[in-house]
Chain A
Amino acid sequence: MLVPALLASAAWARETGPEPEAGPKPETETPPVSDARAVPIIGYGYEEESFDPPAWRRQQSGHPLLRLAGAASYARLPAEGLGYAGGSLSVGYLGSFSVSPELKRWFFGCVFGVEARGHVLRSLDAGSGAWLFAAGLTIPMSFIAHQSISLERVSVPSLFGLLVPEAGIALRSPQPASFYLRWSAPIAVLIDKNVAVELVPAMSLLYRTPTGAVTPLWQVSLAFSWRDLGRPVILVRSPAPSRIQ
């Protein structure tokens, strides 16, 4: 709404030319068109007008904020030939930071924090009775595009986020407890300003098995996550250059 108003006022200013020097100033001055380079379109008040898509960047910057997630999982343990089903819960404090240039965002990400995760899996094979409970800590690091409005609701792990594992203890039956490392690649899409749906492929390595070997566990999860936004953030976007002279 602001851009057409500014354009109309700009056209009016061109037609009427400069105002005479003498005489009292009008009460409402027309803003110079050169000042109209950016249009704030986001804020809590604007969401009622519903052309404001969810964006990861709307989170308050530089503050650790709560994130909760729950997931349903399917896993496969090739060493034992067993399939597992279960779920995961995670709670974390993550902050959004201004990282530039973009190369650093791809490498390190721009959303960091600490997250505690728990996973419960039970064998799908009748008569097996095997189960696994794992709890660990990780440092999530994700990348958010800044240039594209359509991609601002998508979050992918940064390169370092892919490399840094979750570490913890896995309690297993009938196997003994073991240390584990788990790498995951969550791809998250915001479906609301607070809520995202996530697809999480993951691979865990379970250490100290009775044979001495390290056992891989493959897992895929579908998760829903909720995040605290903190203080409302106003994003400013530049309008198309052709619309402003």
Chain B
Amino acid sequence: MHFVGLSLIGLDCGSMGRAIVLAGLLAISTAACFEWAPDRYPPTSGLRWTGDARVAGSKDSTVAGGPAVRFRFGSELREPPSRDNPSEVPGDEQAPAPDAWLDGLVGSWGGLELSLAALTGAIAGHRMGTLAVAGLRPWLSRRQSNWFLRTEQVSLLGLLIPDVGIAYGMGAGAHFQLGWELPLGGESFQIVPGMMWLSPGAAQRLFGTLAFRVQM
């Protein structure tokens, strides 16, 4: 159901109302995938706050910047494969799991990420304004090892899933928005290039974004 929802979001994003319904369905399907097992170690669910210093710009000389926060919650969707013949060589337990390719391609953990941003700057180069952005993103990541999710553990499919939400401001009311980003860096600090697509299909505007991210 999770992946059905993900494919639907790619097919139908012309109407904001339908997109909100789809985002709700995704939230429900992702929540249904959660596996609650708080007594297990390593933990099988986790959360993470991150803070971004973010800049967005578009071809019409709009440049805006400001803070963005993200709250991510997720759980293990697929257990690691058990090893039939564990080696007794010290350190061998750090060797890649036999399903590393599937982990990198699809991911083993999934959940939801809520993002909020307030970007202020110059619109079309001559007047000032603020753009408030709220989004929800189903995400997939590679295997995690502790309670605080490591947001740099991206999977390929996880990178392709967009942030879906609403952007309000810049003197033009509410816009439906899609966003993608590519976190580069480690656990402590990331530089995150990305893009934000406002009102896809009709009066659309495309922004390039750059964020500096530190995890709390």
Contacts and interface: CB of A to CB of B under 8 A. Distances in A.
Interface of A: 101, 103-104, 107-108, 159-160, 163-165, 181, 205, 207, 212-214, 216
A163 B128 contact: no
Nearest to A207: B130
Given A103-B214, A104-B214, A181-B120, A205 B128 contact: yes
B118 interface: yes
B67 A181 contact: no
A209 to B, nearest CB: 11
Given A101-B188, A159-B53, A181-B120, A107 B214 contact: yes
Contacts of B65: 163
Nearest to B213: A107
Contacts of B188: 101, 103-104
Contact of A160 (B53, B127, B171): B53
B202 interface: no
Given A103-B188, A165-B120, A181-B120, A160 B51 contact: yes
Interface in B185-216: 188-189, 212, 214, 216
A104 B212 CA distance: 12
A163 B129 contact: no
A142 B97 CA distance: 43
10 contacts: A101-B188, A103-B188, A104-B214, A108-B51, A163-B53, A163-B67, A165-B118, A205-B128, A214-B129, A216-B128
A46 to B, nearest CB: 34
B43 interface: no
Nearest to B123: A214
B216 A181 contact: no
Contacts of A101: 188
Contact of B130 (A103, A108, A160, A205): A205
A17 B12 CA distance: 85
A160 B128 CA distance: 21
A101 B214 CA distance: 11
A203 to B, nearest CB: 10
Contacts of A213: 127-128
B5 interface: no
A108 B50 CA distance: 10
A164 B128 contact: no
Nearest to A212: B171
A181 to B, nearest CB: 7
A214 B129 CA distance: 7
Nearest to B129: A214
B66 interface: yes
Interface string B119-153: 01000000111100000000000000000000000
